[in-house]
Chain A
Amino acid sequence: MEWLTITIDGREVSVPKGTTVLDACRMNNIPIPTLCHAPELTSAGACRLCVVQIEGMRNLPPSCVTQAAQGMKVETQNPKVRNARKTILELLVANHPLDCMTCQKMGDCSLAEYAYEYGVTGEIYQGEKRNLPIDNGNPFILRDPNKCITCGKCIKACSEIQGKSILDFSFRGFDTQVGPAFNLPYNESDCDFCGSCVSVCPVGALVEKQMVGKGRPWEVSKVQTTCPFCGVGCNFDLNVKDGKVIGVTSNPNAPVNGKALCVKGRFGMDMIYSENRVTTPLIRKDGVLVPADWDEALDLIATKLGEIKKTYGPNSIAALSSAHCTNEENYLMQKFMRAVIGTNNIDHCART
């Protein structure tokens, strides 16, 4: 691999050829703000927040789409660069609701984070603000176009991750909006509700509806786990607050799926708290299933299976194991049947 030497803020660093200036900075722990950049998507170079100054280059190039070149001299924090970023942030904030207190994204909002860092007040540009209807017509995604900063990441996620291209820009200039064709709400579009758009939105324009009001990022712990639905084996993070799962978020390091999920994986977790859950052992008495305690239930089973085995032999007992349970549980089940009961009468539903 060919390596290049470039100077960033007076510091010489080496990066592999083909690295962007942004990646070169991030590899060396030099912070650069970005809104439209995501490692798993192609770069649009649209938000312009990642601009830097490069010796010999006209204007302030965006680092996310500028390739590092041998001997390049980059400045990432000089007053000119910081002023440009601040101005861009002022422009975004001027056209953004300032309801951060009640916004679901509070604490996880890139715009708020950078606005704070750059001392943006939102007062310099007083003028027109968008006032568009909120799309609340589906059970999964809450879309507030007034919070959209038109970074376009959701559009790329829809086309590049999900291969659907439901979302695109519409209208022009200041009136530019992002959404399904013909301004339809999500549920009237051809949307799969995979939620990839939500997973990349840097602000509160797209949020998981189930999680609204359920917890702030700093109150939530994330537990990586494997999806319980189909055989693809996607991983994601269960978001847990006060011992309760409040939602699912993508984990970009998931080995199979990255940030991609489907509607079930991302939004079907409310199944855990279904009213139909059995939460205590039940025993049939006089033809009716009634609650029992564990000792009673397990003793009854142990006794009954023991009797049947004794009377009719171990092969009169069989078990269906489960394609939903863990490997360890399946192992225990087959070991139970083979070693404890003494039969190979074990199978599970979907052997195909």
Chain B
Amino acid sequence: MAGLATSFGSGAMTNSINEIPDTKVMFVIGSNATEAHPVIGTKMKQALAKGAKLIVVDPRYIDLAERSDVWLRLRPGTDIALINGIMNIIIANGWEDRAFIEARTEGYEKVKETVQKYTPEVVSQVTGVPVEQLIEAARIYATAETAQIFYTLGITEHTCGTDNVMSLANLAMLTGNIGKESSGVNPMRGQNNVQGACDMGALPDVYPGYQKVANPEVQAKFEAAWGVPLDPNPGFMIPDMFEAAVSKDLRALYVLGEDPVITDADANHVRKGLKALDFLVVQEIFLSETAKLADVVLPGASYAEKTGTFSNTERRVQMVNQAIKPIGNAKTDGEIICELATRMGYPFEYQSSEEVMQEIAKLTPIFAGITHQRLGTQGLQWPVPHAEHPGTKFLHEGKFNRGLGQFVAIDNQLPAELPDEKYPFLLSTGRKLSHYNVFTQHSPSLENYSPEELAEINPSDAKRLKLQEGEVVQVSSRRGELKTKVKITERVPVGMLFMTLHYFDSPTNVLTNGALDKVTKTYEYKVCGVQISKLS
């Protein structure tokens, strides 16, 4: 988010999902789309069926790697070196789009200078990717008629996540593969409404629509609308909250529909923070691990039980329509917040979620033209600046949101924790097709289909550790330990253990590292050192 915002002036996916089938080249890095974003995966496969080329950058032999034209099996955490290397090759071969760089960007010379030292040979050594593959990938991407970069958490969940993203933005600008149909840089958002939570200002530094809390004009506008004085200072980001709880700077936490004990890195540290609080409220639909620590648990409603909107990864705001009444004594989350606000002396008197949307539209320029009625069955892609605006299919056409695209020179950085003698395996984490985060285990059919963690380990490692398929092992890191079954597969390289984050019984995040990206404070879920020990 922050990376793309720096480079382009907007952190969202630049193109639409339905531009994928017509793209000529797909550069997929750190994204297991067929499992984590299955329908985007199907669109990619449709593009392949139409003859598109596919470059996959991933340490694992994921499904897309199997279908790729070039698969770059890089060492985890060497993305910047790899991208710089590809840029080096592009420049060396004169494949860069000089006219685009000239007309639409700034800061190119600095990048050119930085990537000079990333020769194919050097990069091959750092990343483990053969020189020929680097050249082939560079050629395919740079000489494409249209090309899209896709990335997800494999890029961002690193201590250098923001830098990774800006490197990709550099690559796109270098070749002019941005700002047109089926060409761009596309971060695919994880959860159903991450995009919306950001859009709505569930962030410590911005109001809805990315309007800065520190901007006096913005502050004045919201103070006028809400009729109360507002704080111009950004608040805590998540990791800060747990630190602050331990230091008693934070006394109460209200958790809406999240389970940080399971989903946040270094879970034991999170648990410690939550326990230190004076008062913890959890509003959830399931009795989550976090809810079990709460002082008060409020039963919210599932998507089927309420009306509202979600914003998907391509900025499309779509209706969620109530199909049934909330189960039991539960209430919709909006209703609960309104009642609480009223009880605290600030009446939230909305008759419906539609009324809330009217207020959002009034205060949020990118949502200005959105009403529930206009969304109908097809939704609208923001920015929707006014009531007649048809929505925006792709961003940065003719001009970047920030004006000129910003090249940022970046050097390779090592992950915060790499395997060592004590913790010799590199643990990487991700998702699998049959589950989503931590709540699909509550679906009896999905649970039945895919009931347990199967940590992936390379056959040669398994042989060395004398492990059998399906054997339960103990995995430990500096921060915690757990038990999991293993699946022996060539999908992972030697020295890597891959686990998902879906299972309560193998809560992977007790192992992961709480080290943070310096800008977004995103945890480094993708790399840490672990030890695997046989149980019997």
Q: A interface vs B, CB < 8 Å?
A: 138-140, 159-164, 192-194, 210, 223-235, 238, 240, 243-245, 253, 255-257, 260-265, 267-274, 276-284, 289, 294, 297-302, 304-306, 308, 311-312, 314-352
20 A-B pairs whose Cβ atoms sit less than 8 Å apart in the complex = A257-B39, A263-B433, A267-B445, A268-B445, A270-B445, A274-B286, A282-B296, A304-B295, A312-B251, A320-B241, A320-B256, A324-B257, A329-B256, A330-B193, A330-B202, A333-B256, A334-B208, A336-B340, A346-B201, A351-B1
Alpha-carbon separation in the docked complex, A88 to B233 (Å): 74
Question: Shortest CB–CB separation between residue A214 and chain B, in angstroms?
Answer: 13
Known: A231-B313, A243-B325. 7 other contacts (CB 8 A): A243-B324, A245-B323, A278-B285, A305-B254, A306-B344, A339-B346, A348-B258
Partner of A255, one of B257, B305, B306, B316: B316
Asked if B532 CB lies within 8 Å of chain A CBs, one says no
- Known interface pairs A324-B193, A352-B522; A316-B443 also in contact (CB < 8 Å): no
Alpha-carbon separation in the docked complex, A341 to B238 (Å): 18
Q: Name the residue of chain B whose CB is nearest to the CB of A324.
A: B257
Complex contact A278–B226 (CB within 8 A): no
Residues of B within 8 A of A284 (CB): 294-296
CB within 8 Å of A: which of B324-356? 324-325, 327-334, 336-341, 343-346, 348, 350, 353, 356
Complex contact A245–B39 (CB within 8 A): no
Alpha-carbon separation in the docked complex, A273 to B447 (Å): 14
Asked if B319 CB lies within 8 Å of chain A CBs, one says yes
Q: Name the residue of chain B whose CB is nearest to the CB of A345.
A: B235
Q: Name the residue of chain B whose CB is nearest to the CB of A280.
A: B329
Residues of B within 8 A of A282 (CB): 287, 294, 296-297
Asked if B440 CB lies within 8 Å of chain A CBs, one says yes
CB within 8 Å of A: which of B426-485? 433-436, 439-440, 442-446, 448-449
Question: Shortest CB–CB separation between residue B452 and chain A, in angstroms?
Answer: 15
Complex contact B260–A256 (CB within 8 A): no
Residues of A within 8 A of B344 (CB): 302, 305-306, 340-341
Residues of A within 8 A of B41 (CB): 163
CB within 8 Å of A: which of B1-40? 1, 17-18, 34, 36-40
Alpha-carbon separation in the docked complex, A332 to B333 (Å): 9
Residues of A within 8 A of B251 (CB): 308, 311-312, 316-317
- Which 6 A-B residue pairs are closest in the complex by CB-CB distance? A233-B312, A163-B45, A279-B328, A326-B308, A322-B257, A344-B235
Residues of B within 8 A of A192 (CB): 34, 38, 433
Question: Shortest CB–CB separation between residue B281 and chain A, in angstroms?
Answer: 6
Complex contact B306–A326 (CB within 8 A): yes
Residues of B within 8 A of A235 (CB): 318, 377
Asked if B249 CB lies within 8 Å of chain A CBs, one says yes
Alpha-carbon separation in the docked complex, A255 to B305 (Å): 22
Complex contact B324–A245 (CB within 8 A): yes
